[in-house]
Structure 1
């Protein structure tokens, strides 16, 4: 796979994207809006609408190349240029978008909900809650229970279970306690919370904020 990227993202064919996606070699990101995604989308694609796209805080979760796609390739190319300008490498976009994907005979997942239900389908997000990271990447691999961890770091079990369920945000004290126990940076858990909160807020209010506020001229 070519990785030399200049000012524009490399346009790749739907057939290439399909092969890479099946082999687990890429992260596929859909930059269409939520309603478009809910109507139909490529299985395995993550959703990050262009209306709430912030290149400077775009999360990098793996070392895999990022492939962006939209409906016909215009929005994904624009998002790719934003990422490259912000310093991201290995950014590609799917030529022709979902239209070309379907024209090539490749499948999509379609909404099967009754009319009016699609708006209730939650999009896929790139930034999990810090509680989910704790549960899936720290406790599960080590075979630790919430009770054992709560005792080790000196917090109530209910505090930890609510945190892992996404019902409680991490604060500075809990971040320090978790950092001490797992030998992470002291702000690691706070940064996860910030990325999670920013992503949700951009999704919910990004378009409104962009329309209401004009950047101050230098």
Structure 2
């Protein structure tokens, strides 16, 4: 399944990309951050973090497709838009990212670490794969572009405190703020709010997912 976003980036499903990899017909580029890549990555993927992503010097690959991917497909779409702006017209990204890859049963390489002791496990902070919109905004847009909180706030019509709270994880992105950020950074209109939804879902799964699975059974379908 292929899907072209509003930004012109071609989204391709994981099954198609897996067949390309099996045929040695693709260069897979992981635009997540180094810490995410170190924890788990798709075998053979080349790391090019979004925080250091420079479309002007992106390597040209002859004879193979270049596919971008991230955790859930939002950062890779944004990176694809940057490449399109630099003349890479057939930019491809993986729909659903590494999460969709794993959900389809495809292999990843995982960092092996000693299991934590019971006391460490009790006090251990949860590790989330999906970054907050504020983290993406700070690490992949504001810091690389040297944009201050005050400058961004003035450009998109919000207060400096709004930006500060967002980048520090103290507030969330709503649809209005998503539209403002999308307009300024030329991303898809739903890019920022989808980052928020993915993070909220991951946090909810961690907090109450087990309880929900115990309390609620899937509705049985009627037999024919």
TM-score by length of 2: 0.53
1:141 matched to 2:144? The reply is yes
Cα separation, 1, equivalents of 2:165 and 2:140: 17
Is there any run of 5+ residues in structure 2 with no aligned partner, and where? 1-17, 21-28, 32-36, 41-70, 77-92
- CA contact under 8 A between 2:72 and 2:98: conserved in structure 1? no
Does 2:154 align with 1:151? yes
Question: Alpha carbons of 1:26 and 1:109: their partners in 2 closer, same or farther (altered >3 Å)?
Answer: farther
The corresponding residue for 2:104 is: 84
Any conservation in 2 of the 1:127–1:196 contact (CA below 8 Å)? yes
**Stretches of 4+ moved more than 4 A in 1?**
60-67
Separation in 1 of the partners of 2:180 and 2:98? 34
What is the RMSD computed on CA atoms of the aligned residues?
3.7
TM-score (norm 1): 0.54
Partner SS, residue 214 of structure 2: helix
The residue correspondences of 1:3-22 to structure 2 (distance < 5 A) are 3=18
Structure with more relative contact order (C-alpha pairs < 8 Å, separation 6 or more): 1
Q: Kindly state the Cα deviation for residue 66 of structure 1 after the two structures are TM-superposed.
A: 5.6
* In 2: Cα distance, 1:155 partner to 1:170 partner: 12
The secondary structure found in structure 2 opposite 1:185 is: coil
1:185 to 1:207, Cα distance in 2 relative to 1, 3 A: same
Does residue 108 (structure 1) correspond to residue 102 (structure 2)? The answer is no
Structure 1 unmatched ranges of 5 or more: 6-24, 28-42, 47-57, 68-78, 86-90, 102-106
